[in-house]
Every structure is written in structure tokens, then in C-alpha cells.
Amino acid sequence: MSDKKMSSNPIIKNIYTADPAPMVYGDTLYLYTTHDEDELINDFYTMFDWRCYSTKDMVNWTDHGCIFSLDDIKWADDRAWAPQTIERNGKFYMYCPVHKKDSGMAIAVGVSDSPIGPFKDLGYPLIDEGDWNDIDPTVFIDDDGQAYLYFGNPELRYVKLNEDMISYDECVGIVKIPMTEESFAKGSHDTGTTYGEGPWFYKKNNLYYMVYASFRENQTDESLSYSTSTSPTGPWVYGGVLMTEEGGVFTNHPGIAEFKGHNYLFYHTGELPGGGLFHRSVCVAEFEYNEDGSINTIPKCDGVEEI
């Protein structure tokens, strides 16, 4: 038996956190999360701010507290939902879905000189189609320098970000990915496929991955699934189930990171005392890729080894 220390899930035990979004920068893994308030308003997701935590060894975590909130976004009034942060040229960009004061969801961008904020809002939405699809952004910069922002529920859409990371190529515009069974398998969400929300876009060994929260047929809770492509814009090919619904809450949300030679899937459950639908907690599991790039279903776990 290994005498290495183990972490214990959930990672954060003093507040409810959801929608984990890891970012590796230097020798540190930063974990951005949403925050489920203890007290609910109208018995629904009650979420006002985003939190950041960091680790160098996957066992010891530093709490950086609230790093961006609805108070910083004058045009938004609710729903501080699933974010993702990325670094480019020494600046940090945090993409955040929020509810606009005049209705609908949109994607805000917070900019900071530090991974732990504070983040400053652009002052206007980056993505605002005037519908409810504009949630759950995932951002990735390809080897050729082109950055992509995918997002959406129930449809997966993307924009090609400009080098400044706060605007996008208006000629290409907002592209709708064809929601086919070949790409996302037959499922029970609005498009008739398993694709639900919470996409996580990245590349490994020249293969592009789209991990997402999925609705399988005859299931009420979300699972996690993945699709792959040889191009950053598809066509996507359905890969399989990454994490089943068992033991979960209605939602789940993936975040993938490669850190110091290990591969991690971050996800959320309702397993903290008092936890459930609107009181979720972020967890992590280690996994490996098969030689052909496929990934086996990853069991929920108690924690990971110190690295």
C-alpha cells in the first residue's frame, strides 16, 4: 500500500460549491467554482459569486475566497453560474454566465492580472443572443494561437475569440454545432441527444475533446459524457459515458486538467452534509486515457493521492 497522503472528497467542506473549472498555471492548479448559498431564494439555485482555490499537491488547498461576483457586474442581477478561466499573455480571463437585468442569460468576462483576482467586468456581455442558451462557457487556445469559446444549453455553440480574448470574430459569428446522434448519441434532452450543458473543451495528443453534462434516455439526473473530433470545430463523434448518474444530484459538471503528469476529472455531487439539488460540492477523481484516446467510465471516488 502507498504511504502517500490522500485528499478526501468533497474538496471544499465549509461552503457549498459547484461547477468546478480547473486551470493549471505554473506549478499550481487553480480551481474556480460557483457557490451555492445556504439560504435559498424561491427554492432555486441561489448563486451570487465565484470562488477560487489552489493546490500544488492535490491534497493541501488554499482558499482565495470570492474573486468575482454579481456586485462587480452592473448589468447582471442573478445566476452566477458555471465559469472557466484561462491565461493569455500574462492576463487572466474569466468567462461567466449571468442573468441580465432585462432578462435572459449572457456571458460576462472578468479580466485580472492575477489568477486569484480580483476580476474586473468588461462592462457589457461578450455573448448575448437574447435567449437562454448562453450559459456554461468553456475556453481553449489551440496550438496555432486561435482561441475558441464553446457554450450552451440545449445547443452547443462556439465563437472564435480574437487575440484580445474579450471580443470574437464577427465574420464567423456564433456557430451552431449540428446536434446529431452521431455527435452526442440519442438522449432525452431538448435536441433529442444526450448533450445537456456544461461543455469542457480541450485537446490531447492531437484529438479534441468535448466533455459535457448529459441526459441519457430513461434517466432523470445528469451523467457526464464525451465526444471527440480531429478538428476544433467538429464534426464531433460521440465517445461514451464518463461518469454515470449514480449517487449524484440533478446536475453534474465536468472540468478536466492534466497536472504534474496526472489526469483529473473534477465534478460535483450533493454529498456534503445537508447537500442536494441546490447545495452541491466539488470533487475530483484521477483517470487515465486508453491508448486510442478513449476514456473508460470514471467512478466517483473518495479522493486522490498527493503528488
**Nearest distance from C-beta of residue 105 to ligand FUB, angstroms:** 9
Residues making contact with ligand FUB (CB under 6 A): 18-19, 34, 45, 81-82, 97, 135-136, 197-198, 213, 251, 253
**Nearest distance from C-beta of residue 207 to ligand FUB, angstroms:** 24
What are the backbone dihedrals phi and psi of residue 215, each rounded to the nearest 5 degrees, phi first? -115, 105
Torsion of CA 109, 263, 197, 157, to 10 degrees: 60
Residue (23 or 82) nearer to ligand FUB, CB: 82
Q: Which residue has the cell 449517487?
A: 247
Residue (271 or 305) nearer to ligand FUB, CB: 271
**What angle is formed at CA 135 by the lines to CA 51 and CA 158, rounded to 5 degrees?**
115
Among left, alpha and beta (phi > 0; psi -120 to 50; other), residue 19 is left
Residue (18 or 126) nearer to ligand FUB, CB: 18
**Nearest distance from C-beta of residue 153 to ligand FUB, angstroms:** 7
Asked if residues 119 and 112 have their Cβ atoms less than 8 Å apart, the reply is yes
**Nearest distance from C-beta of residue 177 to ligand FUB, angstroms:** 17
Residue (224 or 295) nearer to ligand FUB, CB: 224
Residue (154 or 192) nearer to ligand FUB, CB: 154
**Nearest distance from C-beta of residue 118 to ligand FUB, angstroms:** 22
The cell numbers describing 95, all together, are: 468567462
Cis peptide before 118 (omega within 30 of 0): yes
Measured CA to CA, the distance from residue 18 to residue 254 in angstroms comes to: 10
